[in-house]
Structure 1
Amino acid sequence: MAVLGGVAYEQIGRYRAARDFPPPGKMVDVGGGRRIQLDCRGAGSPTVVFEAGLSVDGSLSWSAVQPKVAAHARACAYSRAGLMWSDLSNAPPGAAQAVRDLRTALANAGERGPFVLVGQSLGGLYSVGFTRDFGAEVAGLVLVDPSHPEQVELVASFMTETRSMRSRIGVALAPFGVLRAAAPALLQQAPHRTAHEMQAIRAYASKSLRTQLAESDATNASLAEAKAFRDLGDRPLVVLTAMAPFTAAELRGMKITPEQGRQVQAIWKHMHEEMAAWSSRGRHLLVADAGHDIQLDQPQVVVDAVLSVVEAVRKDRR
């Protein structure tokens, strides 16, 4: 009875999620019976394309940034396969799948370059991968506290495995309503995010958390793939680095001391300095009062960085 009740609770939750929180933008057919949620607003070239990090919020990761950018240029945010409204994929998760889906979704939706790619965390490397594969369409980039291809090797002595068995058990029990019931406790209200957005994220959490874990497991493969490409030419590039000290909760999660946290942050800063040099027109900016999710902690900093690259691209094309 408990199992049947859990299954019913989950199915009702999925029905209510679809009814109460329809996808912003549109669902784009990417083949194989799958659709990707793509939300494009505004007008004006170049088109800005946002790529979320290793998170569960999909296109809503950029909700505090996208409207302000859309006031000046075409701005598109999307949810990767299996996140929020987007359909699950049978292909292995990771950079290659993300790049392929994004390119297909943009093309099938009639969105054309030149593009300015904005990627946060692991999404930064996905954006670089898109540039590697479709460089003729990419005019500039903004990397928001991005992952680095060698981050595992560089911080391995400080970090321990954080993908706990408890998380895996929770994902395995998602069809029985466990993750849906736990979503309010697992996913707390974030700065610059509305209550409605948080309700939507929690409503789709049982699906999105499963995808997040799969992407996390594929991280090492995505980092290894990214090592072969570090040449962004002379494209305008801004790399933003979060410099707020790690919180006590973050230190506990990473199982490191405050001193080790400062050392990790110094390594992180150095990695981003190197990434800014991947373009002859790269700039590296430190954001002192923001954590890893700069787009939520200090969205205006991200908006300003994006618009500076948009303006540089426009000047190049005059």
Structure 2
Amino acid sequence: MRKTTKLIISGVTLLIIASVFFIIKYNEKLQTLAPVNGKVDIGGYGLNVKVEGKGTPTVIFESGLGGGIGVWTNVQPEISKITRTFSYDRAGLGESDKSTLERTSSNQVRELHELLQKTKVKGPYIIVAHSIGGFNARLFADSYPEEVAGIIFVDAAHEEMFSLYKLLAPKEYENTRGEFVNPEGTFDDLLNSAAEVRKARRSDGLRNIPITVLSAENTDLNVPGTILVGWAQLQRDIATLSDNSKQITVKGSGHMIQDDNPQAIIDEIKYMINNLREK
């Protein structure tokens, strides 16, 4: 009788352990699959995130300077129909808290990676990066190359844009530097970010990553016309970062391609997703 009782108790114990293990794993799976909307703590401060859709690869939307989740209103919902999408407000923007770290690209990339870990949003990632967000996309790929499946640059910034600005329009450059105000940091933070990207470029980390460069036909940045000519040259240079790249000039679009022609971005994301899924 004792032996039978022990066997029953052991069996029940194993059943309880198995059930607990199943519940934990099931809850982890639900957390991974469920949409996430709201602030997520990444270590003493929270970042506002919007995760939608299911499937792989995950498409990360990286906004331009001062932009956030709202920038992708015309794009994210469409892509969420076919795969998982991830947009967020960087620290100091929108509903996100301020960070104690300097607002350089390297620090923003660390925060993004931590946010992805906290929300259990796993790769592989396609990063869709607008304007200054291009810095973050490149540093992310340099820091976590095994997690990045592709990058789509949307009229993205180039590490030499400030040097070009200073060279071609020194007076305007100094005025901009002196008057610059942005919740994401100082003008020196931007210069430091450019230096970080310039350094990362030496490792040639994007060489085998598929990239698409979407360039505005009429970039309407608030800079002298000579800079806009140089901007076009810098756009072409971004396309040289990979041996698997292409550049598309989006007709009739200004710098905010996601507003002027969101379908161009949607089409390229779908194209890249299909290519990855066929491999």
TM-score range, shorter chain: 0.7 to 0.9
How much has 1:264 moved relative to structure 2? 2.8
SS state at 1:97 partner: helix
Gap change, CA 1:308 and 1:98, over 3 Å in 2: same
Q: After the TM superposition, which segments of 4 or more aligned residues of structure 1 sit over 4 Å from their partners?
A: 164-168
SS state at 1:26 partner: strand
Matches within 5 A, 1:227-306: 227-230=198-201, 231=204, 232-244=206-218, 246=220, 253-254=222-223, 256=224, 261=225, 263-306=226-269
Kindly indicate whether the alpha-carbon contact (under 8 Å) linking 2:58 and 2:86 is maintained by their aligned counterparts in 1.
Answer: yes
Kindly indicate whether the alpha-carbon contact (under 8 Å) linking 1:243 and 1:265 is maintained by their aligned counterparts in 2.
Answer: no
Query: Does structure 1 residue 26 correspond to structure 2 residue 74?
Result: no
Gap change, CA 1:217 and 1:293, over 3 Å in 2: farther
Specify which structure has the bigger relative contact order, considering alpha-carbon pairs within 8 angstroms and separated by 6 or more residues: 1
Query: Does structure 1 residue 156 correspond to structure 2 residue 166?
Result: yes
How much has 1:164 moved relative to structure 2? 7.2
Matches within 5 A, 1:111-122: 111-122=121-132
Identity of aligned residues (%): 30
**2: CA distance, partners of 1:245 / 1:97:** 28
Deviations 1:10-62 (A, max 9, x none): xxxxxxxxxxxxxx81211100x21111101111100000111112x411111
SS state at 1:289 partner: coil
Q: Which residue of 2 aligns with 1:175?
A: none
How much has 1:150 moved relative to structure 2? 1.1
Deviations 1:148-187 (A, max 9, x none): 111122232333235476765xxxxxxxxxxxxxxxxxxx
Kindly indicate whether the alpha-carbon contact (under 8 Å) linking 1:54 and 1:216 is maintained by their aligned counterparts in 2.
Answer: no
The alignment yields a C-alpha RMSD, in angstroms, of: 1.9
Q: Which residue of 2 aligns with 1:223?
A: 194
**2: CA distance, partners of 1:245 / 1:73:** 30
Matched residue count: 238
Q: Which residue of 2 aligns with 1:185?
A: none
**2: CA distance, partners of 1:51 / 1:245:** 19
Q: Which residue of 1 aligns with 2:52?
A: 41
Query: Does structure 1 residue 72 correspond to structure 2 residue 88?
Result: no
SS state at 2:42 partner: strand
How much has 1:125 moved relative to structure 2? 1.2
How much has 1:113 moved relative to structure 2? 0.4
Note the residue ranges of structure 1 that are not aligned, 5 or more in a row.
1-23, 169-208
**2: CA distance, partners of 1:167 / 1:153:** 16
Kindly indicate whether the alpha-carbon contact (under 8 Å) linking 1:49 and 1:118 is maintained by their aligned counterparts in 2.
Answer: yes
**2: CA distance, partners of 1:45 / 1:215:** 36
Deviations 1:54-95 (A, max 9, x none): 12x411111111001111111110110010011101111120
Q: Which amino acid aligns with 1:273?
A: R
Of residues 254, 264, 273, the one that matches 1:310 is 273
Note the residue ranges of structure 2 that are not aligned, 5 or more in a row.
1-35
Gap change, CA 1:91 and 1:245, over 3 Å in 2: closer
Kindly indicate whether the alpha-carbon contact (under 8 Å) linking 1:36 and 1:86 is maintained by their aligned counterparts in 2.
Answer: yes
How much has 1:144 moved relative to structure 2? 0.5
Q: Which residue of 1 aligns with 2:134?
A: 124
SS state at 2:168 partner: coil
Q: Which amino acid aligns with 1:146?
A: A
Gap change, CA 1:167 and 1:26, over 3 Å in 2: same
SS state at 2:50 partner: strand
SS state at 1:157 partner: helix
Q: Which amino acid aligns with 1:72?
A: I
**1: CA distance, partners of 2:90 / 2:219:** 30
- Higher-Rg structure is 2
**1: CA distance, partners of 2:125 / 2:162:** 30
TM-score, normalised via structure 1 length: 0.70
Q: Which residue of 1 aligns with 2:6?
A: none
